[in-house]
A and B are shown apart, each in its own frame.
Chain A
Amino acid sequence: MAKPMDEYKWHELNVGCVIEEIGSAREYKTGDWRSQKPIWDDAKCIKCGLCWLYCPDAAIYQTDDGLYTANLDYCKGCGICAKECKPGAIKMVEEER
């Protein structure tokens, strides 16, 4: 678990500042960035997986029933999934704050 940057003492850094914890970027929730989020109409979804494929942030995942949804911890609301969905199953809606 990475600490906030300004809590590291000099001797707590690895030699050469090597990062051993791979994928530790997950600790940073980019979901805060968005102003709109994708909503799936499950009835229209054909489970093709293209939304998952096109997401730059790997923030879309397949649920147990084979449908897709966004991981709101990381979804930046770029809208690519909604744009690329062939049956138009995804709509971008304003994020409530």
Chain B
Amino acid sequence: MNAKKGIEVSIAASIAAKLARVEVVAAYPITPQTHIVEHLSELVANGELDATYINVESEHSAMSACCGSSATGARTFTSTSAQGLELMHEILFIASGMRLPIVMATVNRALSSPLSIWGDHSDVMAARDTGWIMLFCENGQEVVDSIIMAFKIAEDRKVLLPVMVNLDGFSLSHVIEPIEFPSQEEVDKFLPPYNPLYTLHPDKPVTMGAYAMPELYTEAKYAQEMAIVHSKEVIVKVMDEFGKRFGRYYKPVETYNTENTDMVFIALGAINENIETAIDRLKEEGKEAGLIDLRLFRPFPTKELLFALKGKKRVVVIERVMPGGATNGPLFNEISSLAHSNGMNITIENYIVGLGGRDVLPEDFRDIFDEIKATPEKRTKSKKDKNFSVIGVRE
């Protein structure tokens, strides 16, 4: 057990990358990711991190340079948010298709327009099907641990896929939290040096990024899909090993107070802590609500979620992104189709909160709880003409 340090989560994230001994960082600054890349620059400049920092001229070039670097056999890391994530969008698919184990810390921020530098999940949701493994972090400790685990997951020969570690912009990235850093020796024992399957080197030339005719494209994509589906086994194994070594156990799906109730919230990211606070306060009044914290989002943890949802009757899906014309938000749609395909008799509600940095307080969840409890039937009163509610919108 090492001592905990009070530190800004962004800085902690860069220290995690340092502990993971990243070798190449190619990144472009964008609020609210800037502190991560600034600190990494500093660590490289003063020799604390033996790596190359490429000051790329855009996020598209950042992910492109990461592809070049990872293909050449260097452990590669980057970070971005919102517009940056969208600018590199086409390369995200290429990175996963080419099976390059890049790790990226995405500091979740709202997408323009209108322009907003504040946090929500619209950026990551727009990139959810890019073939990247995706983890969501609730607090600073999880960010550090997830980044270290991410490399081990990505570089596993059975995986070889890029991993995105998500942390909420400002509400998580810019807060100071108590974080316990593992020592370099402990991380070295957990995370050996990157040993690539293929690399660009004249001693053993290969061709990477050939094109596929219709006769082959399906098989190529099938192989990639199988890789991300089966990566779950490796993810669970890595989380387990991390727990054994460092004493902090993670699971793809975590639950909070779900044993005492058949009503659960489900959410991604830092907002889970707000919900936990709300649940604790409700408990003091003798009311019970549960929480399912989805730590792993891609590959979608079907098995674990089904287990967590067993016996639940009301599920309240909390999300931080507008559906964009879909009937519901992306998380709702996945939960709903999961429940439906497995014949589960659950009522699912969709609440959208915290868009563009709008504050979400434990009281808001209390209000949601009360509203749910007051209407035991399917739809709550606020949803007259649409399937979701937007908390706090002034109508």
Chain A residues engaging chain B, CB cutoff 8 angstroms? 5-6, 8-11, 13-20, 22
Chain B residues engaging chain A, CB cutoff 8 angstroms? 97-100, 160, 197-198, 205-208, 210, 212-213, 215-216, 218-220, 222-223, 226-227
Partner of A22, one of B98, B205, B215: B205
Given contacts A10-B223, A15-B99, A17-B220, contact A5 B207 (CB under 8 A): no
Partner of A18, one of B207, B212, B219: B207
Q: Are B98 and A16 in contact (CB under 8 A)?
A: yes
Nearest neighbor of B224 in chain A, beta-carbon distance:
A16
By CB atoms of chain B within 10 A, which of A10, A15, A17, A19 has the most?
A: A17
Partner of B207, one of A6, A13, A22: A22
Nearest neighbor of A6 in chain B, beta-carbon distance:
B215
Cα–Cα distance between A9 and B223 once the two chains are bound (Å)? 9
Q: Are B198 and A15 in contact (CB under 8 A)?
A: yes
Partner of B213, one of A5, A13, A19, A20: A5
Cβ–Cβ < 8 Å partners of A14 in chain B: 198
Cα–Cα distance between A8 and B212 once the two chains are bound (Å)? 12
Q: Are B99 and A16 in contact (CB under 8 A)?
A: yes
By CB atoms of chain B within 10 A, which of A13, A16, A22 has the most?
A: A16
By CB atoms of chain B within 10 A, which of A8, A11, A18, A20 has the most?
A: A18
Cα–Cα distance between A13 and B98 once the two chains are bound (Å)? 12
Query: What are 27 sample pairs from A and B whose C-beta atoms fall under 8 A apart?
Result: A5-B216, A6-B216, A8-B219, A9-B219, A10-B220, A10-B222, A10-B223, A11-B223, A11-B226, A13-B219, A15-B99, A15-B198, A15-B223, A15-B227, A16-B98, A16-B99, A17-B97, A17-B98, A17-B212, A18-B198, A18-B208, A19-B207, A19-B210, A20-B198, A20-B206, A22-B205, A22-B207
